[in-house]
Amino acid sequence: MASLIQTPFGDRAGMRKAYGEALVELGRARRDLVVLSADVSNSDFSYMFESAFPKRFFNVGIAEPAMVDAAVGLANSGFVPIANTFAFLFSTRALEMVRTHLCYGRANVKLAGAYAGLSDSFDGPTHHAITDLAILRSLPNMTVVVPADPLAVARLLPQVADWNGAVYFRLCRNEVPQIFTEDYEPEIGKGILLMDGDDVTIVSCGVMVGRSIQAVRILAAERLSVRVVEIHTIKPLDAALVERCAVETGALVTAEEHSVIGGLGGAVAETLVQTRPVPLERVGIADTFAESGPYPDLLDKYGLSVAAIVDAVHRVLQRKVACALKAAAS
């Protein structure tokens, strides 16, 4: 199990480049794959697909609603379209198209949301996507996938294309540490136990997976046994795994590069409150817009630091102990 994680982490590598390469490889494997762009292909690196397969690449200009609608038409024609633009635009400007045609109309369209979370850090809150998981997760028939490192992008993208129905594939703009080893074999809809432990479980996604592992290494020095589960598929959530962790460790912390409202933490809370209510702490961005700045600093300032995860583990363990004492007293 530990063999899924590189120790120490590998060098930092670009998520955009990983996406562009995976897209080209997929285009080679699948002749029915088409790519649409709202004129940011040199940002999200879908230009790599354009270079390799110009006939199957369509730049519709700065027209995100029309891009999603055109993708609906291509899906109706038997193709597998991947629409590309900044993540926030799918869950804001083009949302009505996504809801009406991808979700209600079940158009088999994939959305690659670039620059998600705070990763377009310097461009500021207009370009950050910190509510996209909440918005898209609430839509029936939508699947939401968040890769955590370049290998995860390469391993998950073909599954996104194979998946029967709409998928939102949430991508980070920046270079991130390479976390996973070659043994990492993610499967859409299934969480992955990355590190075992008994005292508490950290459930995380995206860039917060690496930070969660770092937190666990700090907590190990305190002789705390912490489990780490990666939930790369926010929807459908692997509820069985989350519930098992609640039973086995009695406390959970969620960690995500997203608002604390409605994302991974919300999904885990919704599941546990009905089945296995245990103390739960959510690490995420407080209900606020962020600001411009360097990416790691921005993550730290807005509540996503390794220390914030460590603190959340401490808090949840105190609550767990308090619950146990209360139960013993009654």
Partner 1 sequence: MTVWVGSGVARPSKRNRSEKSREKQVEKTIGYEGTFLADRVYPRGARHTPEMIADLSRRAYEYRAQVLRMVYERKSGHIGGAFSIAEILTALYFHHLRIDPERPGWPDRDRLVFSKGHACAMLYTVLAHRGFFPVAELRTFRSLNSRLQGHPEPGKTPGVEVAAGPLGHGVAIGAGMALGAWLADSRRNVYVILGDGELDSGVIWEGLLVAAKFGLSNLKVIVDYNGVQQTGATATVMPTEPIAAKWASFNWHVTEIHGHNMAEILDALDRADEIHGRPAVIIARTTKGKGVSFMENAPHWHGGIPDDDQFRIATEELQEGVRQWQA
Which residues would be at the binding site for partner 1 (CB under 8 A)? Answer: 34, 55-56, 58, 60-61, 63, 65-66, 69-79, 81, 96-97, 100-101, 104-107
Count other C-beta atoms under 10 Å from residue 248's C-beta: 12
In this complex, which beta carbon is closest to partner 1, that of residue 104 or of residue 122?
A: 104
AA letter at 201: T
The smaller minimum CB distance to partner 1, of residues 72 and 172, is found at: 72
H or E element at residue 312: helix 306-329
Residue 308: which residues within 8 A CB-CB, separation 6 or more? 283, 300
CB closer to partner 1 out of 96 and 198: 96
Residue 270 one-letter amino acid: E
Q: How far is the CB of 218 from partner 1 (least distance, A)?
A: 50
Positions annotated as catalytic residues are 64
What's phi and psi for 60, nearest 5 deg?
A: -95, 10
Measured between alpha carbons, how far is 226 from 221 in angstroms, rounded to an integer? Answer: 11
Output 47 or 302, the one with its CB closest to partner 1.
47
For partner 1, the closer of residues 165 and 296 by Cβ is: 165
Question: Can you tell me the distance from the alpha carbon of 11 to that of 15, in angstroms, rounded to the nearest whole number?
Answer: 12
Amino acid present at 290:
A
Of residues 250, 281, 241, the one with CA closest to residue 265: 281
Q: Would you say 232 and 152 are in contact if contact means Cβ atoms under 8 Å apart?
A: yes
Q: How many CB atoms lie within 10 A of CB 222?
A: 12
The minimum distance between CB 301 and partner 1, in angstroms, equals 37
Least distance from partner 1 to the Cβ atom of residue 33, Å: 11
Q: How far is the CB of 72 from partner 1 (least distance, A)?
A: 5
Q: Is 107 helix (H, G, I), strand (E, B) or coil?
A: coil
Q: How far apart are CB 156 and partner 1 at their closest, in Å? A: 25
Pairing label, strands 233-235, 143-145: antiparallel
